Structure 1
Amino acid sequence: MSRRSPLLDRRAVFSSAAAVALLAATGVGAAGVPARGGRLRMALSGGARSDSWVQGDGLFMQVARQGLIYDTLTEVAADGTLRAELALGWKASADARIWDFDLRPGVPFHDGAAFTAADAVASLRGRVAGEISAPGADRLRITLERPNVGLPMLLSGPEYVIRPAHALDAGIGTGLYRMRRFWPGQQVLATRVASHYRDGTAGWFDEVELTSIPSESVRGQALSEYMVDAVDITDAGGLSGLPDIHLMPDTRQPVQAVSAAVAQPTQVSALRPLDNLRAAERWWFA
């Protein structure tokens, strides 16, 4: 089983300010402070030969996009609260039809190009019903055809990842992990970027490997034989009762099975499988 080489000594003494910031961002207690390292291996359903970075909505590509390579304007935390990601803040007109988003400055794509509002316009055009414009390099305006008070929450979904306008289909994002290898319907291998605006609060693995395995029984067997660290499942099957495998949210109606070697925050999102598709960002090796 993949393991990390500890780069952070959990016995180290944190300053009060640093500890508070870290624990608040990750949602863990003092006994579970995350440490960097290792390769997270996930076996997932939903892969297809036709998958690409702009096509394919199975779980395999959803995790590859949102939980790995790309960011969205907003993020739904495990406790259900809405947080800023590439958008630092937003405000709406009184009728919730016109929305202005202040974008995070100084964020690079994996190819070194700077993220600007033009990239958000190109990414969201055709996905949001309305007019999308960029009044400034760090400001996005969305004028909806119909009012929607839930637009910021909507934009946290995997359909609304932000891509570079100059390479919408190239697998280049602003996420915590950079694509290293992509075999459609088979495998995604990504490595942690050297520097990211979420350093110290997310992205604890050195590498993440996604493998597409259509058969649920084969995915379960791969986990039970220590070949992967997490899988999506709907039936506990032979995994039930194994002491080093956690069935989540419970054994009766599992959505995922995770090795006990993988540590998780005290609260894990049930909005979508694998911590709202963000296991690669939020989990770490114990």
Structure 2
Amino acid sequence: MTRRSHMDRRALFATGAAAALLAATGVSAQASPARRGRLRAALSGARRTDSFDARQDHGLFMQVAMVGAVFDTLTEVAADGTLHGELSTAWEGDARAQVWTLTLRENVDFHDGTRFSAQDVVASFDLHRQTLLADVARVSVLDAQRVLVELHEGDPHFPYRLSDPRLVIYPAGNMAVAMSDGIGTGLYRVQRFQPGRHFLGQRVAQHYKDGRAGWFDTVELVALSSSAVRAEALRDNYVDAAELSDTSDLADLSGITLLPETVSMTAAVSERLALPHHTGSRWPLDNLRAAERWWMA
């Protein structure tokens, strides 16, 4: 069984276990997004005990900061529902989907300058061997760019599971600092972080997603526990996007788009932002990746 960096969702999601259902946003995409501006988002779920430790039970604030900005996972679910490679470029399973070989992306650096390698995957997997990856019998390094994963039982959905936002990859030799300060391979480097209150990320100078994602110069997340206050911040142009589940706090919808759609909204977005034709709806804010995929209108 072989899976490359693009996987047909009908084959991958044959059991219906994955709900990567998509909805058109109604916002016209611009042909050529440009690198500029700051994304400002008001989100809930922040705590004063927040850190970049993926083992914590994070709310939306930290989920967006981590997988949407600072860190990468091995695979990602694109907005169209298909599975793509992120830090893994290819995956191949045996006939029983029990033994998987993961081929890793080359020439990727962590924000501290460390070069990404197979050992980082093994160390990051070990964090979840009692929880998310409890079915992993063994994980080992084949060489600098390949990892072998053996499962207790076959699972054809294993590559999809690697897109879980909790399965971010840390530098093996500096893991404790990476968890406290936020050191990943993502598009945005931590510039300022106040747990439970504020996150500011700066776009890295060079990234393997250049020309495809990461259009904002900076990403700013503000923690606001009240839905009414988040709506007010959006109405008064203090933020460009706000996590909301209904329109009761939005007196005027002019210039505001509801995502993923009016009947099942999870966020409201200003017309100052340009969005792709489709936005992922498995998680809020375009599968938590608004900072990667959106741009300034």
Shorter-normalised TM range: 0.7 to 0.9
Change (3 A) 1:194 1:252: same
Counterpart Cα distance in 2 of 1:250 and 1:262 = 16
Q: Which residue identity lines up with residue 220 of structure 2 in the other structure?
A: E
User: Which fold has the larger relative contact order, with Cα–Cα distance below 8 Å and residues 6 or more apart in sequence?
Assistant: 2
C-alpha displacement of 1:225: 0.5
Gaps of 5+ in 2: 1-26
C-alpha displacement of 1:61: 0.8
C-alpha displacement of 1:145: 1.8
User: Is 2:283 the partner of 1:272?
Assistant: yes
| Identity of matched residues, % | 50
Cα deviation 1:213-270 (Å, max 9, x = unaligned): 1111111111111000111111111326421111112333311000100000001111
Cα deviation 1:66-103 (Å, max 9, x = unaligned): 00000110111001000011101010011111110000
C-alpha displacement of 1:279: 0.2
Cα deviation 1:140-188 (Å, max 9, x = unaligned): 1111122211011111111111111122213100000000111111111
C-alpha displacement of 1:56: 3.8
- 2:119 match: secondary structure: helix
Counterpart Cα distance in 2 of 1:98 and 1:238 = 50
State how many pairs are aligned.
259
Counterpart Cα distance in 2 of 1:105 and 1:178 = 20
Counterpart Cα distance in 2 of 1:123 and 1:46 = 24
Answer whether contact 2:29 2:276 (CA < 8 A) is retained: no
Q: Which residue identity lines up with residue 104 of structure 1 in the other structure?
A: R
Determine which of 176, 189, 208 is the counterpart of 1:197.
Answer: 208
Q: Which residue identity lines up with residue 166 of structure 2 in the other structure?
A: E
Match of 2:61 in 1: 60
Change (3 A) 1:251 1:240: farther
Cα deviation 1:192-220 (Å, max 9, x = unaligned): 00000110000000000011111111111
Match of 1:281 in 2: 292
Match of 2:166 in 1: 159
Counterpart Cα distance in 2 of 1:30 and 1:167 = 40
TM-score normalized with structure 1 length: 0.87
Change (3 A) 1:147 1:37: same
Gaps of 5+ in 1: 1-27
Match of 2:71 in 1: 70
Q: What is the Cα-based RMSD across aligned positions, in Å?
A: 1.5
Alignment of 1:114-133 (within 5 A): 114-127=115-128, 128-129=133-134, 130=136, 131-133=138-140
Answer whether contact 1:233 1:255 (CA < 8 A) is retained: yes
Answer whether contact 1:240 1:251 (CA < 8 A) is retained: no
Counterpart Cα distance in 2 of 1:133 and 1:157 = 20
- 2:67 match: secondary structure: helix
- 1:160 match: secondary structure: coil
- 2:172 match: secondary structure: coil
Q: Which segments of structure 1 move beyond 4 Å, counting only runs of 4 or more?
A: 28-31
Counterpart Cα distance in 2 of 1:137 and 1:31 = 39
- 2:61 match: secondary structure: helix
- 2:73 match: secondary structure: coil
Counterpart Cα distance in 2 of 1:104 and 1:192 = 20
Q: Which residue identity lines up with residue 151 of structure 2 in the other structure?
A: L
Q: Which residue identity lines up with residue 183 of structure 1 in the other structure?
A: Q
Determine which of 134, 154, 157 is the counterpart of 2:141.
Answer: 134
Moved more, 165-174 or 153-162: 165-174
Match of 2:23 in 1: none
Answer whether contact 1:240 1:247 (CA < 8 A) is retained: no
Counterpart Cα distance in 1 of 2:174 and 2:233 = 35
TM-score normalized with structure 2 length: 0.84
Match of 1:185 in 2: 196
- 2:261 match: secondary structure: coil
